[in-house]
Structure 1
């Protein structure tokens, strides 16, 4: 089984879809042009989330995420938050690849220094951890990244589909199999692929550049174990196009940090597709830490393979 959708009707404000999810259940979903879910009905699940199983709730959420992305793909509406949209995340990844050494150090040197401070006492920590938070807690450093162009601007690309093709994301290939089709042997192969940087297609006539990055946000567990974020300044008054989220694992020397971030963002693209119930396109079939929330989902729901680790004895990243 794989995710499938058709547009059943639309007007100037609302798009209606029929989405068949990975349980072969039909979901009738209405989405506004801004991505708001204005209606969702399905005979396959109880109406109230409290009356569904955890897995069934996640199937419902997969259908909603898939519906938003499908409308983005088919109609070009900005229905998906950029940092959750695999095309924006990959565009940021490619823009970072093209940075000069000095520009890369300017934007990402502080983040490397912050993480290195967990492994080398001689390295100054730029951002203090919140009171009561220990270095060994589930700390996640976040850095919002902003592109210098808007991928929805008609001057850049006539359609969202063209943007997807220009950045190596084959939407049809991603819909060919459900995410649960990945087996443990597959994941071992994915982990091996993750050791190498895979270049996807760049297109010269679509200029991509990094316009700005935020300060370093600090994610941490509060006294109840809930994830909180101590936010730094954001330089632009708009949503980021991707958010780098790194745990304080040793990133190695600065020369290798660009590859480290590249792999991390490919894992994020993987997570975006997995969250829609889709097996990601081949260049993004890799193992490693991508989005924090998906690491938790992989640990919690048995409908996902453990894409963030193939170590079945580890208990996951967060216990």
Structure 2
């Protein structure tokens, strides 16, 4: 998709978006990220009259418009951190540069929870084990949650808070399913976490109908699994989900 800023007023930004079908959309984005207007002559105006594919395109255009508005006004809070690929790349940098000894200390609880979730229920009924990460302005890890802050029970499909609320608001929450880890806590697990952070960058691009850069076309659980959106995008994964 291609987007350009048409102008702005006190409360909104005008964005033109050309989707993958070469159709034009005129979108007005509020400075709080709300989509105030979405006009197009090529798709039904009412969601109930759209096909699943048409609704997917409309949603991707909205996401692309928010991203364009955020880039034009970087000091505004238009696009949430967790859906901004530029911000998520900072998380990847922070994880890559986290000293190995500090990584093994900070991520040990996450490492231990993945094969054995610390909850009073069978592991096969837990869909995701999560960890929250906060980073500094210098793209360093400030702190991580010391135990899982949320899991999703596959019996209900609903998020369930199983650990205490974190004492801070994480910039990103990453989740992976319970699985047997055959790697020791060390550089290999460090790379495992790094790859999953890249998956969040990957999915932020897919969420707005964009092909991710090659370095982020990696296998792993990202936002698609976290939000139950594996089939949401018209940009398909060129690999098996892992």
Q: Give the number of equivalent residue pairs.
A: 237
Contact conserved, 2:209 with 2:234, CA < 8 A, in 1? no
Deviation at 1:293, TM superposition (A): 4.1
**Does 1:85 pair with 2:84?**
yes
Is 2:180 the partner of 1:250?
yes
Report how far residue 269 of structure 1 moved: 0.8
Q: Which of 304, 311, 314 is residue 235 of structure 2 equivalent to?
A: 304
In the TM superposition, what is the alpha-carbon distance from 1:43 to its structure 2 partner? 2.1
Superposed CA deviations along residues 265-288 of structure 1, whole A, max 9, x for unmatched, are: 112111111111111112112222
SS for the counterpart of 1:28 is strand
**What do residues 160-203 of structure 1 show as CA deviations (whole Å, max 9, x unaligned)?**
xxxxxxxxxxxxxxxxxxxxxxxxxxxxxxxxxxxxxxxxxxxx
Flag structure 2 segments of 5+ consecutive residues without an equivalent: none
TM-score by length of 1: 0.67
Provide the C-alpha distance between the structure 1 equivalents of 2:235 and 2:180, rounded to a whole number of angstroms.
Answer: 27
Which of the residues 110, 122, 128 maps onto 2:119?
Answer: 128
Secondary structure, aligned partner of 1:136: helix
Contact 2:135 2:143 in 1 (8 A): yes
List 4+ stretches of structure 1 deviating above 6 A: none
Deviation of 1:208 after TM superposition, in Å, equals 2.0
Higher relative contact order (CA 8 A, sep 6+): 1
Q: Which residue of 1 aligns with 2:50?
A: 52
Change (3 A) 1:245 1:67: same
Equivalent residue, structure 2, for 1:148:
136
CA RMSD of aligned residues (A): 2.3
Residue deviations 1:16-42, cap 9 Å, x none? 111111222222111122212122222
How far apart, in 1, do the equivalents of 2:136 and 2:35 lie?
Answer: 29
Asked if 1:68 corresponds to 2:66, the answer is yes
Supply the distance in 2 between the matched residues of 1:37 and 1:21 (Cα, whole angstroms): 17
1:93 Cα deviation after fit? 1.6
Cα distance in 2 between the residues matched to 1:294 and 1:57: 21
- Compared with structure 1, are the counterparts of its residues 137 and 24 closer, same or farther at alpha carbon in structure 2 (3 Å cutoff)? farther
Q: What TM-score does the superposition give when structure 2 sets the normalisation length?
A: 0.87
Uncovered stretches (5+) of structure 1, i.e. residues with no partner: 118-124, 150-206, 311-315
The answer (yes or no) to whether the contact 1:23–1:59 under 8 Å persists in 2 is: no
Match of 1:233 among 165, 170, 175: 165
